[in-house]
Structure 1
């Protein structure tokens, strides 16, 4: 792993998003090793070489050498036959490059691996741009799962997060175009776009009967990846949103700032973090794992295992708790596994995403690219967390209202309305202390009065109807409550206080 290794998600921009990474992940997370090669030109060369030799042999009455050349790779005979038949006999002229690209795409699809795919020149360009620390899009890590595009996690401060998108939300369509059966790369191509432009996503949330259309304005996704704040009794909370080019340096700066403010204990929050660059995960894990201790292992198809150990001699000895959830993927899981198994750091929250494979990305000479799985990665104790996730020491879930579906601000909810959107609004009102009288999705006079009370408290027009700014303010108020009353952080504080004593 001496090449440029990255732990990459299918996300927009900084990770292959919408891709996550999205992706979160897209949201596809994993290690990637990048190098260039000339497979496409080699394939063209082989096709024309064998065709030329065959013609020469037939012309001069000797066909044995030609047959020998073609059959040296017997497994390609069927591929050549299919290519020649289509090229010669299809009822219309065919695009030769498109056929070859389709063959490569088909081979990767046949692997039945959501982390292996072919990228066109345009997609590959976006992919390489995603390795930088800034990008434009909606900021959501996505993944292809069972023929559907699913959000792994929205990035902090992104348009996706502000619009209310949640992990496990299924994207049914983009601007009216169905995503059924499409790869995460194809989904990214539809979702990404220039800052200031709108994209309409049809979102189906788990438990909902019908999808909801959400219009999101694309923006430049914040390049800042580390956020720190002092809580109570000398406890600092530092959130890492993804692992990009400067995350380790950002973290060191934030930790230094927290120490100047009297930090006695640290909560490291990697919830909804889809991953990112591997070298950053290594540097950050090394801050908290003693020198020489194993951070993770990589196992190839032959069963050969390579260990990667902490190289940092200046570890932070401050008491630490790491908070994870189902949106914590790939590089986040490497960090969680490393500190848990090699430094006895307690984990709080929910079981992580479960991404335990390694990918390599290789560029073709024409600018296209393919990404495929090459190895497994294991925790220090040799555990393979793929599709299993990492279980925290203290399991704490967020309240049910934290996963309520998005309410479309363009819809007008009023007396006599009946829908899943009304039900969500009623549950939000109740969570915020406004009694709607019922939670069955029927908008009656009691619900109207609850809405009016909320509007008055927020200095909005007291219409008793939910639409536009009232709907947005309701969802924002709920998000603020979730952050303020966060039971996972409260548990982390409780655990840290015992460690500090």
Structure 2
């Protein structure tokens, strides 16, 4: 028997032994509180194999993975213990099926933009006019349970899929806000998420247009182009692109948007686990939106928002105003597993158009304009008396036009 096969058999025996020993104890003494511990051994081995071969952070120690599984009794506990990566997570079959059935921008849900922060599902912003906003949820709220299901080790995709559901169905969220923990009861509604909900000429004398992008989906590029072309027809000569509190979305949507502005340069680089960098070059040779641009950013601007803002900044096409972005420079792939569940694995990192690694660092604005958390929330909800970041953007464009 060769060495590799021997190691695999030892791993199986070790995990089986732990499962038998702890599994019987779990059932007899801890009951429902420990439901879901010591999952299907085949799935555990499948996850270990994928993480070992595909994970961006190399090398991954198999023994650390096994120890993590022994210690926690769950796949996500294993991944949390062995990897310094909050984005590589296991998703159960029900959550995976629910996520795959949600392919459009129209769904039943609560209307929250969320991200993983400090390894917790965290509200980035409630979508205006939705149950999440009316329930009083705000930036920074930690969602610690969804219908009594603990979100510890939960993937973002799984959390989102659990919050979505049929229109008019009920949902309970357990929220931690600073030291306070409370429950919120919500009735799901039909959510129609527009990527570009607001665009207008906000300063007629200078022809300054304003476009807000709230997320990056399959609808974003078409909506953005329609908005920009409409504003050009109205005499737009300068643009404010608002990416504040935009948690991101699909990589393809980000590339499509960046491609509208960047010519003859990479839009970003993807880096694999071997350190090999692959550029994604712009496709267009002519920038039809060649005008002074200001991009508004803040700590809620993540992922796809950072790809776009980074590409514009690195190529000298825009002035970034606001505060440092979230700092997510990793790309995940989704792998369906044999038991119907799935694994999201961080397979690549990305660098901005200029080759900057922004992961856990973020993008620094060219002009810093700080606002308080309360001001930021009021600006997002349209309740603020003033918007210092927008005002600074207008000032910059006036001086350039």
TM-score range, shorter chain: 0.7 to 0.9
Counterpart in the other structure of 2:226: 253
Q: Is the 8 A contact 2:91 2:155 kept in 1?
A: no
CA-CA distance at 1:185 after TM superposition: 5.0
Please show how residues 169-318 of structure 1 align to structure 2 within 5 Å. Answer: 169-175=141-147, 178-180=150-152, 182-185=154-157, 187-188=159-160, 190-206=162-178, 209-226=179-196, 227-233=198-204, 234-290=207-263, 292-315=264-287, 316-318=289-291
Deviation at 1:162, TM superposition (A): 4.1
With the length of structure 1 as denominator, give the TM-score of the two structures: 0.64
User: Aligned pair in 2 of structure 1 residues 481, 149: CA closer, same or farther (>3 Å)?
Assistant: closer
The Cα shift of 1:357 comes to 0.9
Aligned to 1:78: 10
Distance 1:178 1:368, change over 3 A: closer
CA distance in 2 between partners of 1:183 and 1:241 (Å): 22
- Find out whether 1:132 has 2:104 as its counterpart: yes
Distance apart, 1:403 and its partner CA: 5.8
Structure 2 unaligned residues grouped into runs of 5+: 29-35, 48-74
Aligned-partner Cα distance in 1 for 2:235–2:113: 35
The offset of 1:479, in angstroms, is 3.9
Distance in 2 between residues matched to 1:307 and 1:78, nearest whole Å = 42
Alpha-carbon contact 2:91-2:154 (below 8 Å) kept: no
TM (norm. structure 2) is: 0.79
Question: Retained in 2: the 8 A contact 1:321–1:347?
Answer: yes
Contact 2:115-2:121 at 8 Å conserved across structures = yes
Greater RCO structure (CA 8 Å; 6+ sep): 1
CA distance change for structure 1 residues 102 and 80 in 2, over 3 Å: closer, same or farther?
Answer: closer
Distance 1:313 1:322, change over 3 A: same
CA deviation vs aligned residue, 1:53-105 (integer Å, no higher than 9, x gap): xxxxxxxxxxxxxxx16x43343233211354467776589999734335532
- Counterpart among 472, 481, 486 of residue 383 in structure 2: 481
Paired residues in the alignment total 357
Alignment of 1:91-170 (within 5 A): 91=24, 98-102=40-44, 104=47, 105-106=75-76, 108-109=79-80, 110-170=82-142
RMSD: 3.0
Paired with 2:37 and 2:119, the residues of 1 have a C-alpha distance of: 27
Partner of 2:337: 364
Q: 1:73 to 1:277 in 2, by over 3 A?
A: same
Sort the Cα spacing of 1:173 and 1:199 in 2 relative to 1 into closer, same or farther, 3 A: same
Structure 2 distance, partners of 1:391, 1:138, is 32
Q: Counterparts of 1:74 and 1:320 in 2: how far apart (Å)?
A: 61
Counterpart-to-counterpart distance in 2, 1:478 and 1:390: 20
Q: 1:48 aligns to what?
A: none
TM-aligned CA distance change 1:287 to 1:249, over 3 Å: same
Offset at 1:335?
A: 0.1
In structure 2, the residue corresponding to 1:481 is in which secondary structure?
Answer: coil
Structure 1, unmatched stretches of 5+, are 1-67, 405-474
Residue 496 of structure 1: aligned partner: 397
Residue 10 of structure 2: SS of its match in structure 1? helix
Cα 1:111–1:346 shift into 2, 3 Å: same
**C-alpha separation between the residues in 1 aligned to 2:107 and 2:350?**
28
**Structure 1 contact 142–149 (Cα < 8 Å) conserved:** yes
User: By percentage of residues, which structure has more strand?
Assistant: 2
Q: Supply the distance in 1 between the matched residues of 2:400 and 2:161 (Cα, whole angstroms).
A: 47
* Contact 2:170 2:188 (8 Å CA) reproduced: yes
SS at 1:311's partner residue? Answer: coil
Where 1:256 maps in the other structure, the secondary structure is helix
Partner residue in 2 for 1:402: 375
| Deviating more after overlay: 331-340 vs 216-225 | 216-225
Alpha-carbon deviation of 1:400?
Answer: 5.0
What are the Cα deviations for residues 334-385 of structure 1, in whole angstroms up to 9, with x where unaligned? Answer: 0000000013310011111100111111223443211101111011222111
Q: Does 1:386 align with 2:328?
A: no
Q: Deviations over 1:376-405 (max 9, x none)?
A: 10112221111111111111123453367x
Alignment of 1:320 onto 2:290: no
Is 1:348 matched with 2:321? yes
Question: What's the CA shift string for 1:147-176, capped at 9, x where partnerless?
Answer: 533223334554323434333221233345
Q: CA shift at 1:182, angstroms?
A: 4.6
Instruction: Quote the Cα distance in structure 2 between the aligned partners of 1:147 and 1:72.
Output: 34
Alpha-carbon contact 1:323-1:347 (below 8 Å) kept:
yes
1:302 positional shift: 1.8
The alpha carbon displacement at 1:200 in A equals 3.2
